[in-house]
Amino acid sequence: MRMWFRQKVRVLIFGTGAGGINYYKSSRGNHKVIGFLDNNQQKQGQSLFGKTIYAPEQLAHLSYDKIVIASDYYREIRDQLIGKFAISENTISVYFATPVSRSRLQRLRKSAELLGYERICRNPGWVSDWLYRFMVGVTTDHIKRMQVRWLDDMSGNKVHTFRPAMESQVQGPRYLNQHVKPTDITLPEVALYHFRHGQIHSVSRSVILPDEQIVIERVITSGSAEADYSCAHLLHHGQNLALVRTSQPEHIEKGILISGCNELNYYHWVLEILSQLQFIEELPGQYADYPILISMSSQKILSIKTLIESFGIQRPFIYLASLTAYKVDDLLLLSAPNNLIPNIKGTAWNVAENSFARHESIMFLREKALALSRRTTQNALPKRVFLARKGFLRNYNQVEIMAQCEAHDFVSVYMEDHDVSQQIAIMANAEIIVGPTGAAWTNIIFASAGAKALCWMAQEWGALSCYSNLAAIVGVEMDYIPYQAGTSDSRELYYAPYSIDANTVTTWLQRHLPVTAVRESL
């Protein structure tokens, strides 16, 4: 019999948050969605769009062709599916909500939903109450509205100050042919806070208190009301109220939380999370037996594990699962010595002071890391480095740009192919570094003073200063080329493809390479 219609692929969607919902809405016409998967036990057995939400443990009893991961925890979920449930890699794919993935109607619905959440979280009152019951309270009982308390306002919980606030500067990106002065800021103090019965996640800078308040750490150098610290149990927040996902937590007696808003990104790990470990040796004596509470990912990412070991910390560690909530009877929280607004509501436009870094902290990380690099043979390292990328994030005309650089004797380096000591040594030895914006630039803190660097970044990011400021701290001359990504959404910019003008790169190279080297390459 001739088949006039092709049978649709049977799909399970792993994730019931925004990613899972977006994928379902954008792909249900092309696939046969047979259900959802979620690790949250409170969601299992419920339904979404009329489809059952299954526990991953039920996979052996389900018939499907493909599992699509639609969650920010895609790395952990992928490892879980392959390692724990023996799912074939060919059966698994990852969904990212790029700008082209959403129709105009979906964008309008998303905007309306976010406006509703913003109004719920703006101020207490009848409007907030009504929207909360309409948008949240009717459909679920595990999302609560809580009062927001900012960590820097919690003076009653502050038990120690490691470093006082101090005047400093932050260097914004210097686009080609522009002179950009550093911005004056006041670095916040580095302090220690104590909470009783605080509920935490490994990937959040917020603590749920027993009286249904949530304490959130903010980047106070910015003062932006549009900063978005939502992650893990913190679903959405305003200045006064927040929507918080509650779940049954596991119990920990006591500990020092070392965490950040992102544990999948090398920059956030090194600058925001590991930098907190500098102050462990300075903890007051009464906390000498408190273990360190840190994400299990710290042991799965070899470069991070190696850096932690280099600190020589003589204190027990408790490793936290990324998808689990924990209630800590006796909780200590360090304010971050370096910080960056993780996301921005609405437009992604940044000002330089949306991030900050302490010179002392960078020097601490640099000293520990450079000690690791001494085991690498220096004379085999390239002087001109092109930071190449693998994978699907922010695809661009890399082959063309790579060819231009290699014609000028650059060596293409995929940082993920090297252990951390080699990565550090490569950056420390380089005289010129070129590449797209991304976490690999975190290693600029190991570069030598006087080195030159060229980075390209979406102009929609504005004055995003995380890498330009690090370059200024260590004495690297760093220029930027802007490109248009076609979206101003901070989450979409993380994935959006683009194209860069190869001639602009070549012109910069010819201007900064030694004259003899340019002539030889021509």
The per-residue pLDDT for range 221-266, each reduced to its tens digit, is: 987 788 899 988 998 899 999 999 888 899 999 999 999 988 878 8
115 pLDDT higher than 90: no
Q: In what order do the strands lie in the sheet with 47-48?
A: 47-48, 51-54, 32-37, 10-14, 66-69, 92-94
Please tell me if the domain spanning 10-95 has the same topology as the one spanning 352-521: yes
Domain boundaries, the chain: 10-95, 107-157+190-344, 352-521
Q: Are 221 and 188 in contact (CB under 8 A)?
A: yes
CA distance 55 to 35: 11
Go through the chain and tell me how many residues it has: 522
CA distance 201 to 48: 25
pLDDT at 82: 86
Cβ atoms within 10 A of the Cβ of 74, count? 20
The per-residue pLDDT for range 161-199, each reduced to its tens digit, is: 999 999 999 999 999 888 899 999 999 999 999 999 999
CATH code given to domain 10-95: 3.40.50.720
485 pLDDT higher than 70: yes
DSSP string, 292-350: EEEETHHHHSHHHHHHHHHTT--S-EEEEPTT--EEEEEEEEEPPSSEE--EESSB--B
The per-residue pLDDT for range 314-338, each reduced to its tens digit, is: 999 999 998 889 999 999 999 999 9
**Structural fold of domain 352-521:** Rossmann fold (3.40.50)
288 pLDDT higher than 90: yes
Can you read off the two tokens belonging to residue 52? 């059952």
* pTM for the full predicted model: 0.80
